[in-house]
Amino acid sequence: MSLMQNLCIIYEGPGGKNYPPDRIKDLIVREYDQELFTVTLEWTAVGEQADLGTASEYELRYGLNGADIQNNFLNMTLVLNEMIINGADLKDPRPSGQREVFKIDLPSAPDYYSFGVIAIDKKMRYSKSKISNVAGVSFKIHTTSDQSYKTYIVIGCASFLFVALITICIVGLIKCGPAEQPKERIYVNVK
C-alpha cells in the first residue's frame, strides 16, 4: 500500500462537497447474548466528507447472510433506534475517528444474522458511503440429546469397571506371586 492510497484530498467548489462519507471498514461484533438475542456492534466513525467532520446519520441493516448485505442492502431489515438498547443513536454519529458502539435487541427467529452499515451526509448535499464490511453472529445453540449423554455415561462406567478389574488382577498377581510348582523328587539308590 503506497502513501498516496491513504491520502484523501477534498475539493469544494460551486457545487459544494465532492466526496461522500468514507466506507466503514472495521464493523465487528464485539459481543452477543444467545439467551437475550442481543448483539453489540462496533466500528470507527467516518466523516461527512470522506473521513473529515461528522456524518449526519447511519443506516444499519441486517440479513441472514453476508451476500444479501452486499448485493441487496436496501431490501434488508433496517435497524431502528427503538432496537438499540445502550443509548446510542443512529441519527447522531460521533465525529470521525471515534468508536461507535451499538447494542441491539434482535428478533429471536433466525440462527444467524449479518450486519452492514452505511454513513449518510445530509448537511450540504445528500450522499451515502459505500456499504461497510459485513459482520455476522450465530445464535444457534448446539445441544446434545439426553440419549447421547446416557450413551457416554454407560461407555464411561463400563470403561472404568474394565480398567478397575484389570488393575485388581495385576495387583493380586504381584502380591501373591506365581503359584509354586511342585518340585520333582529324585530318588537315588544307595547301596
Strand 99-105 with 127-128, pairing: unpaired
Residue type, 101: V
Predicted local confidence at residue 17, as pLDDT: 53
Predicted local confidence at residue 175, as pLDDT: 78
Query: Is residue 95 domain-shared with residue 108, that is, in the same domain?
Result: yes
Query: Is residue 127 domain-shared with residue 35, that is, in the same domain?
Result: yes
Separation CA 44–CA 133 (nearest Å): 12
Query: Is residue 24 domain-shared with residue 47, that is, in the same domain?
Result: yes
Query: Is residue 158 domain-shared with residue 97, that is, in the same domain?
Result: no
Cell of 101: 458502539
DSSP string of 87-135? Answer: S--TTSPPPTTSEEEEEEE--SS-SEEEEEEEEEE-SSS-EEPPP---E
Phi, psi for 52 (deg, rounded to 5): -115, 140
Does residue 183 lie within any of the structural domains?
A: no
Query: Is residue 123 domain-shared with residue 88, that is, in the same domain?
Result: yes
Q: What is the pLDDT of residues 64-83, one digit of tens each?
A: 888 888 899 999 999 999 99
* Mean of per-residue pLDDT scores for the chain: 84
Range of the domain at 160: 143-178
Query: Is residue 27 domain-shared with residue 103, that is, in the same domain?
Result: yes
Separation CA 183–CA 113 (nearest Å): 83
Q: What is the pLDDT of residues 104-127, one digit of tens each?
A: 999 877 788 999 999 999 886 789
Query: Is residue 26 domain-shared with residue 98, that is, in the same domain?
Result: yes
Query: Is residue 67 domain-shared with residue 124, that is, in the same domain?
Result: yes
Query: Is residue 38 domain-shared with residue 110, that is, in the same domain?
Result: yes
- What is the pLDDT confidence band of residue 1, given thresholds at 50, 70 and 90? very low
Cell of 184: 520333582
Cell of 71: 448485493
Count up the domains in the chain and report the number.
2
Q: Is the pLDDT of residue 33 over 70?
A: yes
Q: What is the pLDDT of residues 7-16, one digit of tens each?
A: 454 545 445 5
Rounded to a whole number of angstroms, the distance between the first and last alpha carbons of the chain is: 113
